[in-house]
Amino acid sequence: MENITDTETKRKEIMKAVLKISAAVLIIAAAVVAFKPHFTHSTERDKVILSFVARVLQTIHYENIVYNDSFSSKVFDEYIKKLDYGKRYFIKPDMDSLNRFRFKIDDEINSFSLNFCDYATALIKVRQAEAHQYWDEALEGDFDFSKDEYIETEPDSLDYAPTKEALKDYWRKIAKLAVLERYSDLIDNQESAKKDDPSYQEKTLEQLKNEAVESVKKSKRFITFKDKDWLSFYINSIVMTCDPHSEFFMPDDKEQFDISMSGKFEGIGATLQSRDGQTKIVDIIPGSASWRQGELEVNDIILQVGQGDDEPIDIANMELDDVVKKIRGKKGSTVKLTVKKIDGTVKIIPIVRDVVIIEETYAKSSVLTSKDKKTRVGYIYLPKFYADFNDRNGRFCSKDVEKEIKKLSKDNVDGIVIDLRNNGGGSLSDVIDMSGLFIDNGPIVQVKDKEGKTKSLDDKKNGIAYGGPLVIMVNNFSASASEIISAAMQDYDRAIIMGSPSTYGKGTVQSFYDFDKLLSGNDHLKPLGSIKVTIQKFYRINGETTQLRGVIPDIIVPDSYAYLNVGEKESRNALPYDIITKTNYNAWKHKYSKRKVIEKSQDRIAANPVFAEIEKNAKRLKKRSDESYYSLNYDKYRADKQQIKEEADKFSKLSKDKTGITADFLVDDRLASEGDSLKTQKFTRWFGDLEKDVYLLEAVNVINDMK
């Protein structure tokens, strides 16, 4: 998710607060530098970093952070998850030994001690080396796929192995599952090759089995971490105990913040997130290679990365920056990602690396016409709330949307639909300006800081750009700025919000602080890194926060992700939902009956067979995503895999047929694209996608009812 940046005035106020504590921190830092560490792993610089983190969190963070036994216990759990999320390294006696630190971490934070970090790091290094040996030994053994065995992979359903022997057997099962998966894939590949080429030289099952073992041996199951990584894990366990969006960055990790393999980088154009040993897709950059290829999706988990025709590398537990380095590459080269879909299917997706087409990230419009030709709707697609703060003449989404509105008004549309689905947020100032396009000045959002001071951020411009029927489309991944405008338009009763059961639910603001700028002198300790801290919460003008609950649409439509564990509410240590005093605002006066419009829409949704299938698919995805118990018997594994494939094939046809609405150029866009065959081709392809979107069909119907 993109962070909504705070105003410059607030940023300066926060910096003053940091500078006030810097002198005190420096005294502490000096004392730490003079202190000779008892452990060889932690250094003077490590303890200075811990001292800065400890005091900045208490001074800057939105919550009043208290280092006590309760906080200590949460840090302990967070850290153990980072070290051994899958319970594949530590055994029960290890946890008994580590647990003696559970209520001592707060004392160590206050004294800037790293005893727990040092001890745990030394232990995990030993256990990982042993696990590597278990893995190698397992792959040298024989795999009997006729045996009726099972493996549980969900950490919360597992206990720590009681002994090393038990853990070794678990690693045998992990290896067996990896070989079984590869073996099954090779059999599928051979069956496909035989169909395509009658002269194909068929291999025996034993040959394929041996090939599967060799393939798994080549995969990289373990990653070697550096000392800075272990420290980062521990420091971030402290920071992220405060909330999931605060984070510490080592100096050379800062550039990986909101990693996007696009823009100035030649890559695939996807944003990745590493959590609990898995690398997940959290965003697809519009216009990027991944976006154009079309198969990679948000929430896909990357299992392996392959270069061209080379053997893919397993990336489980690999550092995020190392994963990124393997995925990035020269324009025109191919990377093959083996990903696990939410429904459990595994797919190899080849993507030709390219440079993002920046134009595709900006607002754009189309005119949608109903099947009976009686309703013409202006459709504005906004992938993110962008702003160029370095160039006053650059692109700003609020200005671009205003231009699109003017063009649509010339086309005499009956209403406007703004699509914020999958829009993760962006510029705060632009979302306020954009909201002001639809109301005649007034409050848009409220913010509250750690002192409890609230402030209303208002649209102060008189007049509106558009006063007709308005629908805003959202989904589970609409966050931050998307939630601000949706909430404001809902509170003003200015628009009908339509979408998933709720939006993402991120109602917090973060700001970055560079430790090097806070430490005067002591250059031998630099660089120290940066910290991203949550400093404010957002509140609707009605007093409710969007935190956790998000925005609940007026019209709820079935969504394939409706039952999955997505959104802020699923994040560990998320800040709570609460309410403040509402601000003064005047509701919009419209001519239609909102209740009747919603009722008509609900009736259509209930009668539409496509929405019924989407609802079934949502329940299927939930069921499959919860599965973590796998058979290691070949026949049972193949039967399960075939059933998953048949289900996936059935629902893959959803939204592939045209809905009856037609999409076309705005008059101004048609004139601008004349003679530009590439631009015309891009728009034409986009129009084709819009015409198959069942959600847009219903949005057009809603506008028809509103007009």
Domain range summary for the chain, segments of one domain joined by +: 8-112+228-242, 135-218, 253-352, 375-524+539-657+692-706
CA proximity to 417, closest of 487, 474, 356: 474
**Using an 8 Å Cβ cutoff, are 261 and 269 in contact?**
yes
Instruction: Decide if pLDDT at 196 tops 90.
Output: no
Rounded Cα distance, 224 and 320, in Å: 13
Question: Residue 262 is which amino acid?
Answer: S
**CATH fourth-level superfamily of 253-352:** PDZ domain (2.30.42.10)
Q: What is the pLDDT of residues 86-132, one digit of tens each?
A: 999 999 999 999 999 999 999 999 999 999 999 999 999 999 999 99
Rounded Cα distance, 122 and 113, in Å: 16
Same fold yes or no, 253-352 and 375-524+539-657+692-706: no
DSSP bridge partners of 306: 336
Rg, Å, the chain Cα set: 27
What confidence score (pLDDT) does residue 356 get?
Answer: 58
Rounded Cα distance, 375 and 703, in Å: 8
Q: What is the pLDDT of residues 335-353, one digit of tens each?
A: 999 998 887 788 899 998 8
Rounded Cα distance, 671 and 687, in Å: 17
**Using an 8 Å Cβ cutoff, are 186 and 311 in contact?**
no
Q: Give backbone dihedrals phi and psi of 250, rounded to 5 degrees, phi first.
A: -65, 155
| Share of residues in the chain with pLDDT > 90 (%) | 63
DSSP bridge partners of 338: 304, 348
Question: Residue 397 is which amino acid?
Answer: C
Rounded Cα distance, 447 and 461, in Å: 20
Q: How confident is the model at residue 404 (pLDDT cuts 50, 70, 90)?
A: very high
**Which has more confidence, 543 or 326?**
543
* Mean pLDDT across the chain: 88
What distances in angstroms separate CA 541 from CA 455, 463, 559, 580, one per listed residue? 11, 20, 28, 9
Q: What is the pLDDT of residues 128-177, one digit of tens each?
A: 999 999 999 999 999 999 999 999 999 999 999 999 999 999 999 999 99
Grouping H, G, I as helix, E, B as strand and the rest as coil, residue 256 is helix
Q: How confident is the model at residue 220 (pLDDT cuts 50, 70, 90)?
A: low
Instruction: Decide if pLDDT at 405 tops 50.
Output: yes
What confidence score (pLDDT) does residue 39 get?
Answer: 44
Q: How confident is the model at residue 41 (pLDDT cuts 50, 70, 90)?
A: low
Q: What is the pLDDT of residues 511-528, one digit of tens each?
A: 888 888 877 777 788 888
DSSP for residue 135? H
DSSP for residue 385? B
DSSP bridge partners of 337: 305, 349
Find the range with the poorest average confidence among 427-431, 580-584, 694-698: 427-431
Q: How confident is the model at residue 252 (pLDDT cuts 50, 70, 90)?
A: low
Output the CATH code of domain 375-524+539-657+692-706.
Answer: 3.90.226.10
**Using an 8 Å Cβ cutoff, are 380 and 696 in contact?**
no
What distances in angstroms separate CA 623 from CA 157, 299, 405, one per listed residue? 16, 16, 43
Q: What is the pLDDT of residues 580-605, one digit of tens each?
A: 999 999 999 988 999 999 999 999 99
